[in-house]
Chain A
Amino acid sequence: MTASTSARPGVARAPSPRGRPRRRRRLAVGARRPGSVVVLVIATLLVLGPFLWMVSLAFTPEADAFGSASLVPADPTLDNFLRAWSGGALGRAFLNSLLVTTVAVITNCVFATAAGYAFSMLPFRGSSVLFYTLIATVAVPVSVTLIPLFLMAKTFPLAGGNDLAGVGGTGLLDTLGGVVLPYIILPMNIFLAKQFFDAFDKDMAEAARIDGASELRIFVQVYLPLARPLVAVVAIFSFTGVWDDFLWPLVVTSSQDMQTVQLALTRFLGSGNVQYGALMAASVLVTLPVLAVFLFNQRHFISGLADGSVKG
Chain B
Amino acid sequence: MTSSTVIAGAAVAAAPGRPRRRRRRGSFTGLWFVLPATLVIGVFTLIPVGYGLLLSFTEYSPLSRSGPEFVGLENYAGLLHDPQFRQSIGVTVRYTAQVLPLLVVLALALAVLANKPFRGVGLLRAGLYLPHIVSLTAVSMIWLWLYSRDGLVNEALDLLGLGSQRWLYEPDTALNAVSVMRIWKALGSNMVLLLAGLQAIPQHLYEAARCDGASAWQQFRYVTLPGLRTMLVYVVTMDVIYLSQSFAEIFVLTQGGPLGATTTANFLIYEEAFQANQMGGASAMAFVLFALIAGFSFVSIRAMAGRNR
Contact = CB atoms under 8 A, between A and B. Distances in A.
Interface in B140-187: 141-146, 148, 150-152, 155, 184, 187
B155 A69 contact: yes
B188 A191 contact: no
B187 A305 contact: no
A211 to B, nearest CB: 14
Contact of A266 (B1, B126, B252, B265): B252
A232 B135 CA distance: 20
Contacts of A152: 44, 47-48, 51
B51 A44 contact: no
A142 B129 CA distance: 25
A265 interface: yes
B14 A309 contact: yes
Range, interface on chain B = 35 or more
B98 interface: no
A225 interface: no
A290 interface: yes
Nearest to A26: B117
Nearest to A153: B44
Contacts, number: 362
Q: Is chain B's binding surface mostly helix, strand, loop or mixed?
A: helix
Contacts of B200: 309-310, 312
Range, interface on chain A = 35 or more
A150 B16 CA distance: 37
Given A37-B118, A143-B266, 6 more contacts: A46-B184, A66-B150, A122-B26, A123-B22, A125-B27, A262-B137
30 contacts: A2-B125, A17-B199, A30-B116, A30-B119, A50-B184, A53-B142, A53-B145, A111-B40, A127-B30, A137-B49, A139-B297, A140-B45, A141-B241, A142-B247, A147-B52, A188-B4, A237-B1, A237-B7, A238-B4, A244-B2, A244-B137, A250-B251, A280-B141, A290-B134, A291-B133, A305-B7, A305-B10, A308-B7, A308-B11, A311-B11
8 closest cross-chain pairs (CB), A and B:
A30-B118, A122-B30, A308-B10, A118-B33, A237-B4, A312-B14, A309-B196, A148-B48
